[in-house]
Copies of this chain bind each other. A is one copy, B any other.
Amino acid sequence: MRLRNKPWAKDKIAAYPQYVIPDPETKRGRWRELFGHDQPLHVEIGTGKGKFITEMAKLHPDVNFIGIELYPSVLVSALDKLIESGLANVKLLNANAKDLTAFFADGEVSRIYLNFSDPWPKKRHEKRRLTYRDFLALYDRILAEDGDIHLKTDNQSFFEYSLVSLSQYGFVLASVQLDLHQSGMTDNVMTEYEEKFSAKGNRIYRCEAVRPPRRSS
């Protein structure tokens, strides 16, 4: 995604602490309280401009959603959608995925969405990919016993890498679609990027992977 510098972004984010939670560490293990509804928590890592998470939140009022986005200049677009919709079951974090376990207690999250993550194609950047084993270890910790990861991407190499990395970590594939928009899936919510990319006729890859059984120790 092209990043436009928006020097005012941080101030705007700070002005809406009810939507972009300023101190997520203090909410660790207590997100259900914050939302005021004891319902499953789904986290999107790399929320971008927020189309996916706000549409999902409208469709699934029985789920609490948290969108995490590193770049303030991008997150403000998600914030605008949230202000406009007034949705009570979405919160945003301006944060880095590597700090996930500081924000969420073990087993607190039911589902993680990885949508069109940066593929970091160079081998020397492997550790930055959101399906690198160190990230999977974080997801493993915060995911519930039967929690899962839903991943979408247009990047063939990243998808190949992710299938192998998930499998080698111990995640079990529950579903794979190698051409999502031709798969007959009717409840797919598209991201901004997905709309643009799939309009060119290119493939979208998708998988669902279930968390490894908690090791008894």
Contacts and interface: CB of A to CB of B under 8 A. Distances in A.
Contacts of A176: 160, 163-164
A160 B172 contact: no
Given A168-B172, A172-B168, A177 B160 contact: yes
A201 B173 CA distance: 29
B156 A164 contact: no
A167 B175 CA distance: 10
Contacts of A179: 156
Contact of A164 (B159, B164, B175, B205): B175
Nearest to A161: B176
A177 B205 CA distance: 13
A14 interface: no
A34 interface: no
Q: Chain A interface residue count: which class?
A: 10 to 19
A178 B164 contact: no
Interface string A149-173: 0000000100110011001100011
A189 interface: no
A174 interface: yes
A165 to B, nearest CB: 9
A202 to B, nearest CB: 13
A26 B172 CA distance: 38
Given A160-B177, A163-B173, A167-B167, 7 more contacts: A156-B178, A163-B163, A164-B175, A167-B173, A168-B172, A178-B178, A178-B205
